[in-house]
Structure 1
Amino acid sequence: MGGCVGREREDTQDHGASRSSGRAHRKRGRHKWTRVTSCYPSTSTEKMYAHYCRNEPLKKDKPKWKSDYPMTEGQLRSKRDEFWDTAPAFEGRKEIWDALKAATVALECNDHELAQAIVDGASITLPHGSLTECYDELGSRYQLPVYCLAPPVNLISERSDEDPGDSPEPTAAPKKEFQLKVRLSTGKDLRLSASMGDSIGQLKKQLQAQEDIDTAHQRWFFSGKLLTDKTRLQDTKIQKDFVIQVIVNPQAPIN
Protein backbone atom coordinates (compact mmCIF):
# COMPACT_ATOMS: atom_id res chain seq x y z
CA MET A 1 0.00 0.00 0.00
CA GLY A 2 1.10 3.57 0.00
CA GLY A 3 4.00 4.77 2.09
CA CYS A 4 3.46 6.47 5.43
CA VAL A 5 5.51 9.21 7.01
CA GLY A 6 4.67 9.20 10.67
CA ARG A 7 2.71 10.72 13.49
CA GLU A 8 3.12 12.84 16.58
CA ARG A 9 1.94 11.66 19.94
CA GLU A 10 0.73 15.09 21.07
CA ASP A 11 -0.25 18.31 19.33
CA THR A 12 2.73 20.64 19.50
CA GLN A 13 0.60 23.71 20.16
CA ASP A 14 0.66 25.03 23.70
CA HIS A 15 3.36 22.61 24.91
CA GLY A 16 2.99 23.11 28.62
CA ALA A 17 -0.78 23.08 29.01
CA SER A 18 -1.38 20.50 26.30
CA ARG A 19 1.18 18.01 27.59
CA SER A 20 0.15 18.28 31.21
CA SER A 21 -3.50 17.92 30.18
CA GLY A 22 -2.61 14.87 28.04
CA ARG A 23 -0.79 13.21 30.94
CA ALA A 24 -3.71 13.86 33.25
CA HIS A 25 -6.12 12.34 30.73
CA ARG A 26 -3.98 9.23 30.35
CA LYS A 27 -3.77 8.77 34.10
CA ARG A 28 -7.56 8.91 34.27
CA GLY A 29 -7.84 6.30 31.48
CA ARG A 30 -9.16 8.74 28.87
CA HIS A 31 -8.73 8.02 25.17
CA LYS A 32 -5.64 9.38 23.47
CA TRP A 33 -5.70 11.36 20.27
CA THR A 34 -2.77 10.88 17.96
CA ARG A 35 -1.83 12.72 14.83
CA VAL A 36 -1.22 10.35 11.90
CA THR A 37 0.15 11.43 8.56
CA SER A 38 -0.51 8.92 5.81
CA CYS A 39 -0.20 8.73 2.07
CA TYR A 40 -2.44 6.72 -0.22
CA PRO A 41 -2.02 6.24 -4.00
CA SER A 42 -4.50 7.74 -6.44
CA THR A 43 -4.89 7.29 -10.18
CA SER A 44 -2.25 9.91 -11.00
CA THR A 45 -0.49 11.14 -7.89
CA GLU A 46 -0.19 10.14 -4.28
CA LYS A 47 -2.29 12.35 -2.05
CA MET A 48 -0.92 13.26 1.33
CA TYR A 49 -3.24 14.13 4.16
CA ALA A 50 -3.18 14.31 7.93
CA HIS A 51 -5.92 13.23 10.29
CA TYR A 52 -6.43 12.68 13.97
CA CYS A 53 -6.76 9.06 15.01
CA ARG A 54 -8.49 8.12 18.21
CA ASN A 55 -6.81 5.36 20.20
CA GLU A 56 -9.37 3.32 22.10
CA PRO A 57 -8.79 0.44 24.53
CA LEU A 58 -9.08 -3.05 23.09
CA LYS A 59 -12.67 -4.22 23.33
CA LYS A 60 -13.44 -7.46 25.14
CA ASP A 61 -16.36 -8.41 22.91
CA LYS A 62 -15.43 -10.73 20.05
CA PRO A 63 -16.89 -9.97 16.62
CA LYS A 64 -19.73 -12.21 15.46
CA TRP A 65 -19.73 -13.35 11.86
CA LYS A 66 -21.01 -16.17 9.67
CA SER A 67 -18.91 -18.05 7.15
CA ASP A 68 -20.11 -18.50 3.57
CA TYR A 69 -19.99 -22.24 4.22
CA PRO A 70 -20.01 -24.34 7.43
CA MET A 71 -16.40 -24.38 8.58
CA THR A 72 -14.62 -26.90 10.77
CA GLU A 73 -12.05 -26.00 13.39
CA GLY A 74 -9.32 -27.45 11.18
CA GLN A 75 -10.39 -25.34 8.21
CA LEU A 76 -10.49 -22.23 10.38
CA ARG A 77 -7.00 -22.92 11.69
CA SER A 78 -5.65 -23.46 8.16
CA LYS A 79 -7.22 -20.20 7.01
CA ARG A 80 -5.60 -18.33 9.89
CA ASP A 81 -2.19 -19.92 9.30
CA GLU A 82 -2.37 -18.96 5.63
CA PHE A 83 -3.05 -15.33 6.55
CA TRP A 84 -0.24 -15.07 9.11
CA ASP A 85 2.20 -16.72 6.69
CA THR A 86 1.46 -14.36 3.81
CA ALA A 87 0.37 -10.99 5.25
CA PRO A 88 3.78 -9.81 6.58
CA ALA A 89 5.38 -10.44 3.18
CA PHE A 90 3.43 -7.67 1.50
CA GLU A 91 3.36 -4.68 3.83
CA GLY A 92 4.01 -3.54 7.36
CA ARG A 93 6.76 -4.38 9.80
CA LYS A 94 7.38 -7.94 10.91
CA GLU A 95 7.61 -7.01 14.60
CA ILE A 96 4.15 -5.42 14.44
CA TRP A 97 2.68 -8.47 12.70
CA ASP A 98 4.24 -10.67 15.38
CA ALA A 99 2.71 -8.49 18.08
CA LEU A 100 -0.71 -8.59 16.43
CA LYS A 101 -0.55 -12.38 16.14
CA ALA A 102 0.43 -12.68 19.81
CA ALA A 103 -2.46 -10.40 20.76
CA THR A 104 -4.97 -12.54 18.82
CA VAL A 105 -3.67 -15.67 20.55
CA ALA A 106 -4.11 -13.97 23.92
CA LEU A 107 -7.68 -12.99 23.01
CA GLU A 108 -8.42 -16.54 21.90
CA CYS A 109 -7.30 -17.67 25.37
CA ASN A 110 -9.58 -14.99 26.89
CA ASP A 111 -6.57 -13.13 28.34
CA HIS A 112 -7.68 -9.61 27.53
CA GLU A 113 -5.16 -7.93 29.81
CA LEU A 114 -2.24 -9.65 28.08
CA ALA A 115 -3.59 -8.72 24.66
CA GLN A 116 -3.90 -5.07 25.71
CA ALA A 117 -0.37 -5.10 27.13
CA ILE A 118 1.00 -6.51 23.86
CA VAL A 119 -0.79 -3.82 21.85
CA ASP A 120 0.44 -1.04 24.13
CA GLY A 121 3.99 -2.40 24.21
CA ALA A 122 4.16 -2.34 20.41
CA SER A 123 2.72 1.23 20.28
CA ILE A 124 -0.22 0.04 18.18
CA THR A 125 -3.12 2.47 17.85
CA LEU A 126 -6.71 1.18 17.69
CA PRO A 127 -9.10 3.80 16.28
CA HIS A 128 -12.13 1.62 16.98
CA GLY A 129 -10.87 -0.56 19.81
CA SER A 130 -10.52 -3.53 17.47
CA LEU A 131 -7.64 -5.28 15.75
CA THR A 132 -9.58 -5.28 12.49
CA GLU A 133 -7.99 -1.86 11.84
CA CYS A 134 -4.92 -0.52 13.59
CA TYR A 135 -1.79 1.59 13.04
CA ASP A 136 1.81 1.45 14.15
CA GLU A 137 3.73 4.45 15.40
CA LEU A 138 4.90 5.26 11.85
CA GLY A 139 1.32 5.53 10.64
CA SER A 140 1.27 2.27 8.70
CA ARG A 141 -2.14 0.65 8.58
CA TYR A 142 -2.75 -3.01 9.52
CA GLN A 143 -5.98 -4.88 8.97
CA LEU A 144 -6.83 -8.29 10.43
CA PRO A 145 -9.63 -10.39 8.90
CA VAL A 146 -12.45 -11.21 11.25
CA TYR A 147 -11.71 -14.95 11.10
CA CYS A 148 -8.41 -14.30 12.89
CA LEU A 149 -10.27 -12.76 15.82
CA ALA A 150 -13.20 -15.11 16.38
CA PRO A 151 -14.66 -18.36 15.03
CA PRO A 152 -17.79 -18.16 12.84
CA VAL A 153 -21.22 -18.78 14.34
CA ASN A 154 -21.65 -21.71 11.95
CA LEU A 155 -18.49 -23.52 13.05
CA ILE A 156 -19.01 -27.29 12.98
CA SER A 157 -17.23 -30.09 14.77
CA GLU A 158 -14.55 -32.13 13.04
CA ARG A 159 -16.69 -35.29 13.30
CA SER A 160 -19.29 -33.74 11.00
CA ASP A 161 -16.68 -33.26 8.27
CA GLU A 162 -15.34 -36.81 8.36
CA ASP A 163 -16.02 -39.36 5.66
CA PRO A 164 -18.72 -41.66 6.99
CA GLY A 165 -16.70 -44.56 5.64
CA ASP A 166 -13.89 -43.68 8.05
CA SER A 167 -16.12 -43.87 11.09
CA PRO A 168 -15.87 -47.07 13.08
CA GLU A 169 -18.85 -49.33 12.63
CA PRO A 170 -21.04 -49.67 15.70
CA THR A 171 -20.46 -52.89 17.56
CA ALA A 172 -23.27 -55.31 16.94
CA ALA A 173 -25.18 -56.41 20.00
CA PRO A 174 -24.33 -60.00 20.93
CA LYS A 175 -26.94 -62.52 19.85
CA LYS A 176 -28.74 -64.43 22.56
CA GLU A 177 -28.93 -67.91 21.13
CA PHE A 178 -31.22 -70.69 22.27
CA GLN A 179 -32.16 -74.17 21.09
CA LEU A 180 -35.21 -73.97 18.83
CA LYS A 181 -37.39 -77.06 18.83
CA VAL A 182 -38.37 -78.23 15.35
CA ARG A 183 -40.72 -81.15 14.57
CA LEU A 184 -40.52 -82.61 11.07
CA SER A 185 -43.52 -84.12 9.32
CA THR A 186 -41.48 -87.34 9.17
CA GLY A 187 -41.93 -87.59 12.93
CA LYS A 188 -38.40 -86.59 13.82
CA ASP A 189 -37.71 -83.93 16.46
CA LEU A 190 -34.53 -81.93 16.50
CA ARG A 191 -33.05 -78.66 17.79
CA LEU A 192 -31.48 -75.77 15.92
CA SER A 193 -29.27 -73.03 17.32
CA ALA A 194 -31.22 -69.83 16.78
CA SER A 195 -31.65 -66.26 17.94
CA MET A 196 -34.73 -64.06 17.87
CA GLY A 197 -33.22 -62.00 15.05
CA ASP A 198 -32.88 -64.99 12.72
CA SER A 199 -35.20 -65.28 9.74
CA ILE A 200 -37.02 -68.45 8.71
CA GLY A 201 -34.93 -68.49 5.54
CA GLN A 202 -31.75 -68.66 7.61
CA LEU A 203 -33.14 -71.47 9.74
CA LYS A 204 -34.17 -73.40 6.63
CA LYS A 205 -30.55 -73.32 5.46
CA GLN A 206 -29.41 -74.57 8.83
CA LEU A 207 -31.89 -77.42 8.65
CA GLN A 208 -30.71 -78.23 5.14
CA ALA A 209 -27.11 -78.43 6.33
CA GLN A 210 -28.06 -80.62 9.27
CA GLU A 211 -30.61 -83.00 7.68
CA ASP A 212 -29.92 -82.61 3.95
CA ILE A 213 -33.41 -81.31 3.26
CA ASP A 214 -33.56 -78.78 0.43
CA THR A 215 -34.95 -75.41 1.55
CA ALA A 216 -37.43 -75.54 -1.36
CA HIS A 217 -38.97 -78.66 0.19
CA GLN A 218 -39.56 -77.11 3.62
CA ARG A 219 -42.73 -75.41 4.81
CA TRP A 220 -42.59 -73.96 8.31
CA PHE A 221 -45.72 -73.43 10.42
CA PHE A 222 -46.33 -71.93 13.85
CA SER A 223 -49.72 -71.60 15.51
CA GLY A 224 -51.33 -72.74 12.26
CA LYS A 225 -49.71 -69.96 10.18
CA LEU A 226 -47.28 -70.43 7.31
CA LEU A 227 -43.98 -68.65 8.00
CA THR A 228 -42.34 -66.95 5.02
CA ASP A 229 -38.59 -66.86 4.51
CA LYS A 230 -38.40 -63.19 5.56
CA THR A 231 -40.28 -63.74 8.80
CA ARG A 232 -38.07 -63.40 11.88
CA LEU A 233 -38.54 -65.42 15.02
CA GLN A 234 -39.13 -62.26 17.02
CA ASP A 235 -42.15 -61.57 14.78
CA THR A 236 -43.69 -64.96 15.59
CA LYS A 237 -43.56 -64.27 19.36
CA ILE A 238 -42.28 -67.80 19.84
CA GLN A 239 -41.05 -68.73 23.28
CA LYS A 240 -38.29 -71.01 24.46
CA ASP A 241 -40.26 -74.26 24.80
CA PHE A 242 -42.55 -73.83 21.80
CA VAL A 243 -42.30 -76.11 18.76
CA ILE A 244 -42.28 -75.15 15.08
CA GLN A 245 -43.79 -77.63 12.63
CA VAL A 246 -41.88 -78.30 9.40
CA ILE A 247 -43.66 -80.03 6.55
CA VAL A 248 -41.18 -81.88 4.32
CA ASN A 249 -42.44 -82.63 0.82
CA PRO A 250 -39.62 -83.60 -1.51
CA GLN A 251 -42.07 -84.44 -4.36
CA ALA A 252 -43.62 -80.97 -4.51
CA PRO A 253 -40.98 -78.19 -4.14
CA ILE A 254 -42.29 -74.92 -2.74
CA ASN A 255 -41.36 -71.92 -4.93
Structure 2
Amino acid sequence: MGGCVGRYWGDSHNRGSARNGGRGGRNEPLKKDRPKWKSDYPMTEGQLRSKRDEFWDTAPAFEGRKEIWDALKAAAVALECNDHELAQAIVDGASITLPHGTLTECYDELGNRYQLPVYCLAPPVNLISECSDEDRSDSPEPPVASKKEFQLKVRLSTGKDVRLNTSMADTIGQLKKQLQAQEDIDVLQQRWFFSGKLLTDRTRLQDTKIQKDFVIQVIVNSQVLGAPKPSPITTPSSPKSQ
Protein backbone atom coordinates (compact mmCIF):
# COMPACT_ATOMS: atom_id res chain seq x y z
CA MET A 1 0.00 0.00 0.00
CA GLY A 2 2.82 2.38 0.91
CA GLY A 3 4.42 1.73 -2.47
CA CYS A 4 1.22 2.67 -4.27
CA VAL A 5 1.04 6.01 -2.48
CA GLY A 6 4.71 6.58 -3.13
CA ARG A 7 4.29 6.20 -6.89
CA TYR A 8 1.68 8.93 -6.86
CA TRP A 9 3.72 11.30 -4.76
CA GLY A 10 7.38 10.60 -5.44
CA ASP A 11 8.14 13.67 -7.59
CA SER A 12 4.80 15.46 -7.64
CA HIS A 13 5.81 18.67 -5.90
CA ASN A 14 8.89 19.32 -8.06
CA ARG A 15 6.73 19.73 -11.18
CA GLY A 16 3.76 21.47 -9.52
CA SER A 17 4.63 25.14 -9.77
CA ALA A 18 5.91 24.90 -13.34
CA ARG A 19 2.76 23.25 -14.70
CA ASN A 20 0.22 25.26 -12.79
CA GLY A 21 1.78 28.65 -12.22
CA GLY A 22 -0.30 29.39 -9.12
CA ARG A 23 -3.57 31.21 -9.74
CA GLY A 24 -2.84 31.77 -13.42
CA GLY A 25 -2.97 28.09 -14.41
CA ARG A 26 -5.62 26.54 -16.61
CA ASN A 27 -8.77 25.67 -14.71
CA GLU A 28 -11.62 23.48 -15.92
CA PRO A 29 -15.00 22.82 -14.23
CA LEU A 30 -15.26 19.53 -12.40
CA LYS A 31 -16.47 16.76 -14.69
CA LYS A 32 -19.50 14.73 -13.64
CA ASP A 33 -18.18 11.44 -15.00
CA ARG A 34 -16.44 9.29 -12.43
CA PRO A 35 -13.41 7.23 -13.47
CA LYS A 36 -13.98 3.57 -14.29
CA TRP A 37 -11.22 1.18 -13.29
CA LYS A 38 -10.63 -2.44 -12.44
CA SER A 39 -8.68 -3.63 -9.43
CA ASP A 40 -5.86 -6.13 -9.86
CA TYR A 41 -7.86 -8.42 -7.60
CA PRO A 42 -11.58 -8.52 -6.65
CA MET A 43 -11.92 -6.08 -3.78
CA THR A 44 -14.51 -6.06 -1.02
CA GLU A 45 -16.11 -2.90 0.32
CA GLY A 46 -14.10 -3.27 3.52
CA GLN A 47 -10.83 -3.54 1.61
CA LEU A 48 -11.68 -0.46 -0.45
CA ARG A 49 -12.55 1.42 2.73
CA SER A 50 -9.23 0.47 4.34
CA LYS A 51 -7.30 1.46 1.21
CA ARG A 52 -8.97 4.86 1.16
CA ASP A 53 -8.48 5.42 4.88
CA GLU A 54 -4.79 4.65 4.54
CA PHE A 55 -4.40 7.18 1.74
CA TRP A 56 -6.29 9.99 3.49
CA ASP A 57 -4.41 9.36 6.74
CA THR A 58 -0.98 9.49 5.06
CA ALA A 59 -1.46 11.98 2.21
CA PRO A 60 -1.01 15.15 4.34
CA ALA A 61 2.37 13.79 5.45
CA PHE A 62 3.65 14.33 1.89
CA GLU A 63 3.44 17.63 0.03
CA GLY A 64 0.59 20.11 0.27
CA ARG A 65 -1.56 21.77 2.91
CA LYS A 66 -3.87 19.92 5.28
CA GLU A 67 -6.83 22.21 4.65
CA ILE A 68 -6.60 21.45 0.93
CA TRP A 69 -6.45 17.71 1.63
CA ASP A 70 -9.58 18.03 3.78
CA ALA A 71 -11.36 19.91 0.99
CA LEU A 72 -10.32 17.33 -1.61
CA LYS A 73 -11.61 14.51 0.58
CA ALA A 74 -14.96 16.25 1.08
CA ALA A 75 -15.22 16.93 -2.66
CA ALA A 76 -14.39 13.30 -3.51
CA VAL A 77 -17.06 12.05 -1.13
CA ALA A 78 -19.66 14.45 -2.53
CA LEU A 79 -18.76 13.52 -6.11
CA GLU A 80 -19.12 9.79 -5.44
CA CYS A 81 -22.53 10.46 -3.92
CA ASN A 82 -23.54 12.16 -7.19
CA ASP A 83 -23.66 15.61 -5.59
CA HIS A 84 -21.68 17.35 -8.33
CA GLU A 85 -22.85 20.83 -7.35
CA LEU A 86 -21.57 20.42 -3.80
CA ALA A 87 -18.26 18.98 -5.00
CA GLN A 88 -17.74 21.95 -7.34
CA ALA A 89 -18.61 24.38 -4.53
CA ILE A 90 -16.01 22.77 -2.24
CA VAL A 91 -13.34 22.95 -4.93
CA ASP A 92 -14.14 26.60 -5.72
CA GLY A 93 -14.28 27.55 -2.05
CA ALA A 94 -10.79 26.14 -1.46
CA SER A 95 -9.40 27.87 -4.60
CA ILE A 96 -8.38 24.53 -6.11
CA THR A 97 -7.41 24.55 -9.79
CA LEU A 98 -8.32 21.58 -12.01
CA PRO A 99 -6.30 21.62 -15.26
CA HIS A 100 -8.19 18.61 -16.63
CA GLY A 101 -11.50 18.92 -14.75
CA THR A 102 -10.79 15.97 -12.44
CA LEU A 103 -9.49 15.48 -8.90
CA THR A 104 -6.79 13.10 -10.14
CA GLU A 105 -4.56 16.14 -10.65
CA CYS A 106 -5.13 19.54 -9.12
CA TYR A 107 -3.33 22.51 -7.59
CA ASP A 108 -3.85 24.95 -4.77
CA GLU A 109 -3.46 28.72 -5.16
CA LEU A 110 0.22 28.49 -4.14
CA GLY A 111 1.01 26.10 -6.99
CA ASN A 112 1.29 22.94 -4.88
CA ARG A 113 0.29 19.84 -6.81
CA TYR A 114 -2.17 17.23 -5.49
CA GLN A 115 -3.08 13.88 -7.02
CA LEU A 116 -5.88 11.57 -5.93
CA PRO A 117 -5.75 7.88 -6.87
CA VAL A 118 -8.79 6.52 -8.69
CA TYR A 119 -9.77 4.29 -5.79
CA CYS A 120 -10.55 7.43 -3.76
CA LEU A 121 -12.89 8.71 -6.47
CA ALA A 122 -14.88 5.60 -7.43
CA PRO A 123 -15.15 1.91 -6.52
CA PRO A 124 -13.67 -0.63 -8.96
CA VAL A 125 -15.92 -2.35 -11.47
CA ASN A 126 -15.05 -5.69 -9.85
CA LEU A 127 -16.02 -4.62 -6.32
CA ILE A 128 -17.44 -7.46 -4.23
CA SER A 129 -20.51 -6.56 -2.19
CA GLU A 130 -20.24 -7.95 1.32
CA CYS A 131 -23.99 -7.82 1.85
CA SER A 132 -26.43 -7.03 -0.95
CA ASP A 133 -29.59 -5.02 -0.42
CA GLU A 134 -31.70 -8.05 -1.41
CA ASP A 135 -30.08 -10.22 1.22
CA ARG A 136 -30.57 -7.52 3.79
CA SER A 137 -34.26 -7.03 3.00
CA ASP A 138 -35.01 -10.76 3.07
CA SER A 139 -33.18 -11.44 6.29
CA PRO A 140 -34.50 -10.54 9.74
CA GLU A 141 -33.32 -7.43 11.52
CA PRO A 142 -29.79 -7.90 12.89
CA PRO A 143 -29.47 -8.02 16.66
CA VAL A 144 -28.97 -4.60 18.16
CA ALA A 145 -25.48 -4.10 19.54
CA SER A 146 -24.94 -3.57 23.22
CA LYS A 147 -25.18 -0.06 24.64
CA LYS A 148 -21.47 0.06 25.48
CA GLU A 149 -20.56 3.69 24.89
CA PHE A 150 -17.44 5.08 23.25
CA GLN A 151 -16.34 8.36 21.73
CA LEU A 152 -16.91 8.63 17.98
CA LYS A 153 -14.69 11.04 16.04
CA VAL A 154 -16.62 13.18 13.55
CA ARG A 155 -14.83 15.47 11.08
CA LEU A 156 -16.84 18.45 9.86
CA SER A 157 -16.37 19.89 6.39
CA THR A 158 -15.12 23.04 8.13
CA GLY A 159 -12.06 21.07 9.26
CA LYS A 160 -13.14 20.82 12.90
CA ASP A 161 -13.06 17.47 14.67
CA VAL A 162 -15.83 16.69 17.16
CA ARG A 163 -16.20 13.73 19.50
CA LEU A 164 -19.63 12.33 20.31
CA ASN A 165 -20.55 9.87 23.04
CA THR A 166 -22.32 7.01 21.29
CA SER A 167 -22.80 3.26 21.04
CA MET A 168 -23.02 0.85 18.13
CA ALA A 169 -26.80 0.69 18.67
CA ASP A 170 -27.29 4.41 17.98
CA THR A 171 -28.67 5.59 14.65
CA ILE A 172 -27.28 8.37 12.49
CA GLY A 173 -30.46 10.33 13.19
CA GLN A 174 -29.71 10.23 16.91
CA LEU A 175 -26.13 11.33 16.32
CA LYS A 176 -27.29 14.23 14.15
CA LYS A 177 -29.40 15.50 17.06
CA GLN A 178 -26.45 15.12 19.41
CA LEU A 179 -24.23 17.08 17.02
CA GLN A 180 -26.93 19.76 16.76
CA ALA A 181 -27.05 20.12 20.54
CA GLN A 182 -23.26 20.18 20.84
CA GLU A 183 -22.28 22.36 17.87
CA ASP A 184 -25.56 24.18 17.04
CA ILE A 185 -25.74 22.68 13.53
CA ASP A 186 -29.27 21.97 12.35
CA VAL A 187 -29.87 18.32 11.45
CA LEU A 188 -31.16 19.38 8.03
CA GLN A 189 -27.77 20.91 7.25
CA GLN A 190 -25.86 17.72 8.09
CA ARG A 191 -24.91 14.99 5.64
CA TRP A 192 -22.99 12.07 7.08
CA PHE A 193 -20.63 9.97 4.95
CA PHE A 194 -18.49 6.94 5.64
CA SER A 195 -16.34 5.14 3.07
CA GLY A 196 -17.88 7.22 0.30
CA LYS A 197 -21.47 6.36 1.20
CA LEU A 198 -24.22 8.64 2.41
CA LEU A 199 -25.54 7.42 5.77
CA THR A 200 -29.31 7.64 6.24
CA ASP A 201 -30.95 8.61 9.52
CA ARG A 202 -32.11 5.03 10.16
CA THR A 203 -28.64 3.54 9.71
CA ARG A 204 -27.15 2.17 12.92
CA LEU A 205 -23.43 2.45 13.58
CA GLN A 206 -23.19 -1.33 13.71
CA ASP A 207 -24.48 -1.45 10.11
CA THR A 208 -21.60 0.73 8.86
CA LYS A 209 -18.95 -1.68 10.20
CA ILE A 210 -17.16 1.33 11.64
CA GLN A 211 -14.54 0.80 14.31
CA LYS A 212 -13.88 2.99 17.28
CA ASP A 213 -10.76 4.62 15.82
CA PHE A 214 -12.37 5.44 12.45
CA VAL A 215 -13.60 8.89 11.42
CA ILE A 216 -17.01 9.82 9.96
CA GLN A 217 -17.18 12.78 7.57
CA VAL A 218 -19.99 15.31 8.05
CA ILE A 219 -20.62 17.86 5.33
CA VAL A 220 -22.35 20.99 6.65
CA ASN A 221 -24.21 22.50 3.72
CA SER A 222 -24.51 26.11 4.83
CA GLN A 223 -20.86 26.43 5.82
CA VAL A 224 -19.50 24.71 2.72
CA LEU A 225 -21.55 26.74 0.30
CA GLY A 226 -20.97 29.91 2.30
CA ALA A 227 -24.58 31.07 2.09
CA PRO A 228 -27.07 29.64 4.59
CA LYS A 229 -30.61 29.38 3.36
CA PRO A 230 -32.92 32.14 4.62
CA SER A 231 -35.39 31.27 7.29
CA PRO A 232 -38.92 30.75 5.95
CA ILE A 233 -40.32 33.04 8.65
CA THR A 234 -38.04 35.94 7.76
CA THR A 235 -39.51 38.57 5.49
CA PRO A 236 -37.25 41.08 3.74
CA SER A 237 -37.54 44.60 4.99
CA SER A 238 -38.65 47.36 2.67
CA PRO A 239 -35.73 49.21 1.09
CA LYS A 240 -35.07 52.58 2.61
CA SER A 241 -35.35 55.62 0.45
CA GLN A 242 -32.08 56.95 -0.95
TM-score category by the smaller chain? 0.3 to 0.5
TM-score calculated relative to the size of structure 1:
0.44
TM-score calculated relative to the size of structure 2:
0.46
Bigger Rg, structure 1 or 2: 1
Where relative contact order (Cα < 8 A, 6+ residues apart) is larger, the structure is 2
